Structure 1
Amino acid sequence: MNATEARPEQVTEALRDIARLGGFFALDTVAPRDRAGGGALRDGFAARARAVNDRFGTAEARVGVSIAHLGLAARLWSPVLACALVHGIVPTMSAVDWSGEGTDLCLTESRGRIAARLPSPVEAVHAEVDGVLRDVESGLTAKVAPGLLAGNSASALVGSAAQLLRTRPALRGPLTRLTRELLETGRLRGTGRITGPRLTFRRNSCCLFYRAPGGGTCGDCCLTG
């Protein structure tokens, strides 16, 4: 174990703690023998995208892909942000997998790094989430604009941060700084802007939810006024 690595039990306890925040913050840990890992998330994404199309009654494949991608991004950003800010640990997300037939996630290995010992905690947080998303995107079954996918990630990031702010208001300062810095990192740069102290957001792209029957637009959509 090098100086930046957290002990497995530290990572497990941190994840159990932030799971109490509810919703997308839950990220279970399971023994490696119980899950396949290594590309399983990518391989199972197509079925989740088709389920979205079925649920909303649309045959437009890119709509299901985009909405499922947005949901996945939120399930990745939420626990990583919370772990980094509440416990100072950046969990290693390369071992992430589907927890079951639904959209919940789990980690097949409890690994992570101590944020304060990293050269750039911001880049580390970004890399853990963006690496998983790019792997999933490499196997998409429908063509979706790269800018839209980057916008989905940004939207999910700020939405996760806003939810964390509501549950842990004492984190406002470091949470706002981290969120703003992440929005200037990699492909998130130029995807949108924070519009208020409660981490409201206006993205520069649309997730295509409006194209689903009865879908409408989201609160941060570029198509709203």
Structure 2
Amino acid sequence: MTNGWGAADAVPAHEVVGALRDVARMGGFFDLDTAQGPGSGEGGLTGEGFAARARTVNERYDTAEARVGVSIAHLGLAARLWSPVLACALLHGIVPETATVEWAGDSPTLRLAEPRGSRAPQSTSSLADAVRAQADGVLEGVERGLPVKVAPRLLAGNSASALVGSAAQLLRSRPGLRAPLTGLTRELLQTGRLLGTGEVTGPELTFRRRSCCLYYRALNGSKCGDCCLAR
């Protein structure tokens, strides 16, 4: 994947680190670690690493259906990519480059091995392209090595659901971002494979997707709030 990075747009590493550490204070999926330390040894988001995490999900939910573990793990990974990239872009005007994202040890947490980034474009459409490339673009790379076949529209729906979920959490934490955040989220849902995956249904960035993540098929699972099957 090319990222279109240019020297004129590049942001010093310390600024990228500072932005990521700031948004990490929102907790959970916004935490993209930049600290040096032992990684997973996989050198990135490998298919083997993802498969191991999907198996862990299957064990946790006591289900033998491989697609369920893959989809739930994929949805979590999507949220961990969208959240910090979206937050840094809107709060700091920096789009982190995620080409060196890796698993942080055996946990689902991510770390950016080589913090780099660029200045966020001024136009909403250009910003959407930049943000999507660093979140959904990386996710698509992981999908090429999935251990089991999963419908492409389910995977795209997972990414869209994670995007809007991340945006909604950011809105709750930073309500002053409502206008630019809503505009960027709607633009992203018209970008690339996210087009047609669902729609924003309310001012608090509630969402209704057109596919299902399969969580309801896990033991004690249920239909998610944005699921097409929910009524």
Which sections of structure 2, spanning at least 5 residues, go unmatched?
1-5
CA contact (8 A) 1:15 1:83 kept: yes
Whether 1:84 and 2:89 are equivalent positions in the alignment is yes
Q: How does 1:165-176 map to 2 (within 5 A)?
A: 165-176=171-182
Question: Residues 29, 220 of structure 1: CA spacing in aligned structure 2 closer, same or farther, 3 A cutoff?
Answer: same
- After superposition, the C-alpha distances for 1:175-223 in whole angstroms (9 at most, x for unaligned) are 0000000000000000000000000000000000011111010000000
- After superposition, the C-alpha distances for 1:104-149 in whole angstroms (9 at most, x for unaligned) are 1100001000003688111010011122111110110011000000
When the two chains are superposed, the root-mean-square deviation of aligned CA atoms in Å is: 1.7
Q: How does 1:1-225 map to 2 (within 5 A)?
A: 2-31=7-36, 38-116=43-121, 120-225=126-231
CA contact (8 A) 1:161 1:175 kept: yes
Question: Residues 113, 56 of structure 1: CA spacing in aligned structure 2 closer, same or farther, 3 A cutoff?
Answer: same
How far 1:40 sits from its partner (Å)? 3.9
Q: Tell me, in whole angstroms, the C-alpha distance in 1 between the residues paired with 2:222 and 2:36.
A: 41
How far 1:37 sits from its partner (Å)? 6.5
Q: Tell me, in whole angstroms, the C-alpha distance in 1 between the residues paired with 2:136 and 2:45.
A: 16
How many residues are paired up?
225
Tell me the TM-score normalised to structure 1 length.
0.95
- After superposition, the C-alpha distances for 1:70-121 in whole angstroms (9 at most, x for unaligned) are 0000000000000000000000011001112111110000100000368811
Question: Residues 42, 30 of structure 1: CA spacing in aligned structure 2 closer, same or farther, 3 A cutoff?
Answer: farther
Tell me the TM-score normalised to structure 2 length.
0.93
Q: Tell me, in whole angstroms, the C-alpha distance in 1 between the residues paired with 2:88 and 2:65.
A: 36
Q: Tell me, in whole angstroms, the C-alpha distance in 1 between the residues paired with 2:59 and 2:39.
A: 29
SS of 2:10's equivalent in the other structure is coil
Letter in 2 for 1:198: E
Which sections of structure 1, spanning at least 5 residues, go unmatched?
none
Specify which structure has the higher proportion of helix.
Answer: 1
Letter in 2 for 1:191: T
Percent identical residues: 65
Question: Residues 200, 40 of structure 1: CA spacing in aligned structure 2 closer, same or farther, 3 A cutoff?
Answer: closer
CA contact (8 A) 1:42 1:135 kept: no
